[in-house]
A and B are shown apart, each in its own frame.
Chain A
Amino acid sequence: MSGLGVRTLVAWCPDWPVVAAGFPVGEPVAVVHANRVVACSVAARAEGVRRGLRRREAQGRCPGLTVVPVDVDVEARAFEAVAAAMDALTPRVEVVRPGTLAFPTRGPSRYHGGDEALAALVAGLATGALPGGAPTARVGVADGPFAAGLAARRAPGDHADPVPGAEVSRGPHPPAPGIERRILVIPAGASAAFLAPLPVATLDAVGAVRPDLTEVLRRLGLRTLGSLAELSARDVLGRFGPEGERAHRLARGLDDRPPALRTVPPELVVSIELDPPVDRVETAAFVARTLAAELAGRLAAQGLACTRVAVEAETDHEEARSRLWRSEGGLGPDALADRVRWQLDGWLNGPWGDRPTGGIRLLRLVPDQVVADDGRQLGFWGGAAAADERAARGVARLQGLLGPDAVTVPERRGGRAPGERVVLVPAHTVALGTARPRPDPSVAAPWPGHLPAPSPTLVHAEEVAAEVLDVAGAPVGVTGRGLVTAEPALVAVGGDRPVEVRMWAGPWPADERWWDPAAHRRRARIQVVLADGRAHLLTLEAGRWAVEATYD
């Protein structure tokens, strides 16, 4: 399996809901959601108030308790100041939830002289950004966000005793006095040992897995993360599914990033040397089928599915061709073999100048992106899922014929010009058939000055030069105030005979990106309907008219 988690720093502000609600920790305060206490101040905790208590019970234990309802918006807004304080250190701050932030330490830690120095710096900055009376921020550094988060929670703090067994290694720059009690740095590679004695319930306390799972683990006698980590990954996956596997990875101090982002272990790469070299597609495809079956077997043994695979081929003349293939539902051996055949077909039987000069010597399948194999459920009657699958197969085939970027799909963007509002992106970069999950935020922006519907059905990629003339045959211009110098009467498109203008509308000046000298465009658009029935959108830029689009 893959290596250790990314070295991560987590800064945690204790009792954040209480702090965000504007109460000092000295007052007994409880934040309540759905009649249960979700956070309480130090003073309330001293009276016996705990998370998860019912409101009445909490008030019974501490009669002077102030109860406030939870307000996530306020929490998030108040935490923004703390997150902004980290901008001086790194641009990659990730707010895990209000009260907790994380970032990878690799760059900042080298710059500031080690994890300890960085942690001390973060603790100082975060505490400085907190409102007065709030408990000081704690900082943990470990391999992976899960271990780092636990390290932050187990940093001794100002008023507690140090946690036995947790080694705080000291860097070359001793931090300011007092600060060292607020940070806990787990040395690289020691995260598993740090996690081992912790109870298994910490998994659900930080929201990593569902409480049901930790309850089952506890009843099975797996009381600590260490005892869970001792089990084999395959057994855990077989018994508890993907969630169990995730818990197991966390318990071992490994990365808990979603599997799509983790690097592929090298043993998944399959390759075959062909001797003698193969120059026929059919032979290569036959070999590819066994290779694909081998890869599928290896993936299945680890409970993985491959959603993107690189097919690499090399000839005995050292020519190489590599292409990425993608399929949302995971590539089965047959689908994979088809893709190898398409790619080699496109190469070996392609244009003469592009063909390899020798036979294929090496075939390699490199899984580029793997996910946990949760199967794929097709619609019972085929229907839309079958149509999507047929289209995806067709796209893959065309990519083999024409190259990966030849097949495109539309994607909505923002913009004023008719061609800017929807653009084409290569089909392999998106999940086919599903509405794009997160559209570009500029889609919903108002874009003042764009022409309302109907939009032109033809937007010319290369603008066609045009001439716009008035009744006397003199060229028409647009003044700096956005008015035409004369009414357009004749329009000649692309050097043709001038045609009489039936109707016209405009001009609409557009002064775009004036803040950027390189991208600045100052244009005026008019719509014309010509005597031959054609309707055009004409653009005047730098004194020249052009047909930007046609209403066909």
Chain B
Amino acid sequence: MGAGPAFAAVQVARSSTASDLAALRRAESLSTPTALARTKTLPLAEALQPLVPGGALQRGTTVGVTGPGSTTLALVLSAVATAEGSWAAVAGVPALGLAAAAELGIALERLLVVARPPDGSWAVVVAALLDAVDLVVVRPPARLASADARRLQARARERGAVLCALGGTWPQPCDICFTVTAPAWVGPTGAGSGRLEARQVEVVGSGRGAASRERRLPLWLPGPDGAISTVAAPAATHPTQPVPAGLAAVS
């Protein structure tokens, strides 16, 4: 690819006919650093893309996730990035269901878990994780100093990592906030038959800057086929009705 654009540019300098102009445009498109934009973001599952500006997680941002289903949403946020070669870490969630993480698409071989960071060195541990991996999911301790939180956010910005705080107790404003509301499970059909199969939720995305416009998205978290997908309009009107697997998922 290296010789192509230069050759085209020389051609244009001699005579500027229509075909040479086309060659110049092609050369420009080839030399545009398209890879740069990608390296500044982490990829996101397709169903979640309408929730964030640009459709991908900007590196260096802090994401807050709250509400019933927040753990699932945080895992889904990490899934595509780990599958594409990024590392993720989870700190301070000793009860994390790893089987669920695998089902939601996280590449387990690129996941680090620090189950119980000691209270005294919590911020140090998270800072070290932000140095080491691209995406850190934390559940902050009950009394996290505001200054520590600010310092960790600055560290994430500096290292180009994404910090994802669970539980809504993060003492600083987050760049993007996701609130999971209105969970409705599908599966049990009464008298003990059936099993939990799928959950519909509405995810509300808000935040600062480009993310400040509130976005609402009905989601299957997870869907009847195990995947995360947006809810089709008819299904959203009867969220508590059991939906056959074939009808529900619309990607």
A538 CB to closest chain B CB (Å) equals 12
Q: Give the nearest-CB partner of A394 in chain B.
A: B132
CB pair B128–A505 under 8 Å, yes or no, is no
Contact present for A454 and B96 (CB under 8 Å): no
Indicate if the CB atoms of A452 and B195 lie closer than 8 Å: yes
Contacting residues, chain A, for B132 (C-beta < 8 A)? 390-391, 393-395, 397-398
Contact of B110 (CB < 8 Å), options: A393, A433, A460, A529:
A433
Q: Is the CB of B97 within 8 A of A410?
A: no
Q: How far is the CB of B76 from chain A (nearest CB, A)?
A: 10
- Segment touching A, from B5-13, B47-55, B140-148, B186-194: B186-194
Does the CB pair A410–B187 fall under 8 Å?
no
Among B87, B124, B125, B191, point to the contact of A391 (Cβ < 8 A).
B87
Of the residues B85, B117, B188, B196, contact of A387 by C-beta under 8 Å: B85
A436-B109 in contact given A398-B114, A457-B71 (Cβ < 8 Å)? yes
Structural contact, B85 and A527, CB atoms closer than 8 A: no
Q: In the complex the two chains form, is B188's CB within 8 Å of A503's CB?
A: yes
User: With A391-B87, A394-B129 known to touch, is A535 a contact of B100 (CB < 8 Å)?
Assistant: no
Kindly state whether residue B98 has any CB partner on chain A within 8 Å: yes
Q: Decide if B195 touches A552 in the complex (CB within 8 Å).
A: no
Q: Is the CB of A552 within 8 A of B70?
A: yes
Q: How far is the CA of A215 from the CA of B210 in the complex (A)?
A: 70
Q: Does A484 contact B (CB under 8 A)?
A: yes
For B100, give its contact among A408, A457, A487 (CB under 8 Å): A457
Interface flags, B202-213, vs A, CB<8A=1, else 0 = 000000000000
Asked if A320 lies at the interface with its beta carbon under 8 angstroms from chain B, I say no
Task: Using known A-B contacts A395-B132, A398-B129, A422-B98, determine if residue A457 contacts B72 with beta carbons closer than 8 Å.
Answer: yes
Asked if residues A458 and B86 are in contact (CB atoms below 8 Å), the reply is no
B99 near A394: Cβ-Cβ < 8 Å: no
* B196 contacts across to A, CB distance below 8 A: 454, 505, 527, 529, 535, 551
Distance from A407 Cβ to chain B, minimum over Cβ atoms (Å): 6
Q: How far is the CA of A504 from the CA of B194 in the complex (A)?
A: 9
Return A421 CB to nearest CB of chain B, in Å.
4
Q: Does A534 contact B (CB under 8 A)?
A: yes
Q: Which residues of B contact A407 (CB under 8 A)?
A: 112-114
Contacts of B113 in A (CB 8 A): 407-410, 424
Residues of B contacting A534 in the complex (Cβ-Cβ under 8 angstroms)? 68
Give A487-504 as 1s and 0s: 1 = Cβ < 8 Å from B's Cβ atoms: 100000000000000111
Q: Are B114 and A456 touching (Cβ within 8 A)?
A: no
Nearest-neighbour CB distance to chain B for A389, whole angstroms, equals: 10
Interface centre among B93, B110, B134, B222 (most CB of A within 10 A): B110
CB pair A397–B183 under 8 Å, yes or no, is no
B171 interface residue, CB < 8 Å from A? no
Residue of A nearest to B221 (CB): A454
Contact A409 B85 (CB under 8 A): no
Q: Write out the residue numbers on chain A whose beta carbons fall within 8 Å of the beta carbon of B175.
A: none
CA distance A239 to B40 in the complex (A): 47
Asked if A394 and B128 sit within 8 Å, CB to CB, the answer is yes
Contacting B115 at CB < 8 Å: which of A412, A418, A424? A424
How many chain B residues sit at the interface, stated as a range, is 35 or more
Per a CB cutoff under 8 Å, which of A384, A394, A552 touches B71? A552
CB neighbours of A527 from chain B (8 A) = 188, 195-196
CB contacts (< 8 Å) of A408 on chain B: these are 112-115
Chain B residue at minimum C-beta to C-beta distance from A392 = B132
B191 neighbours in A (Cβ, 8 Å): 487
Instruction: Scan residues 488-524 of chain A and give those whose CB is less than 8 A from a CB of chain B.
Output: 502-507
Contact flag A424-B134 (CB < 8 Å), given A395-B112, A504-B188, A505-B188 = no
- Known contacts A409-B112, A427-B112, A505 near B193 by CB under 8 Å: yes
Residue in A393, A452, A453, A504 whose beta carbon sits within 8 Å of that of B192 in the complex: A504
- Within 82-100 of B, Cβ neighbours of A (below 8 Å) are at 85-87, 93-100
- Cβ-closest chain B residue relative to A408: B113
- Residues of B near A422 (CB, < 8 A) are 98-99, 101-102, 108
For B4, what are the chain A residues with a Cβ–Cβ distance below 8 Å?
A: none
Q: Find B125's partner among A402, A435, A452, A535 (CB 8 Å cutoff).
A: A402
CA separation between A421 and B115, bound complex, in Å?
A: 17
15 extra interchain contacts, Cβ-Cβ under 8 A, other than A390-B131, A436-B109, A551-B196?
Answer: A387-B85, A390-B87, A402-B114, A402-B118, A402-B125, A418-B97, A455-B97, A458-B71, A487-B192, A502-B185, A503-B188, A505-B195, A526-B192, A533-B183, A552-B72
**Cβ contacts A to B, 16 pairs, < 8 Å:** A393-B132, A394-B132, A394-B133, A398-B114, A398-B132, A406-B114, A408-B113, A412-B108, A451-B195, A455-B103, A456-B97, A458-B93, A505-B195, A505-B196, A550-B95, A552-B68
B-contacting residues of A (Cβ < 8 Å)?
Answer: 383-384, 387-388, 390-391, 393-395, 397-398, 401-402, 406-412, 418-419, 421-424, 427, 432-436, 451-461, 484, 487, 502-507, 526-527, 529, 532-535, 549-552
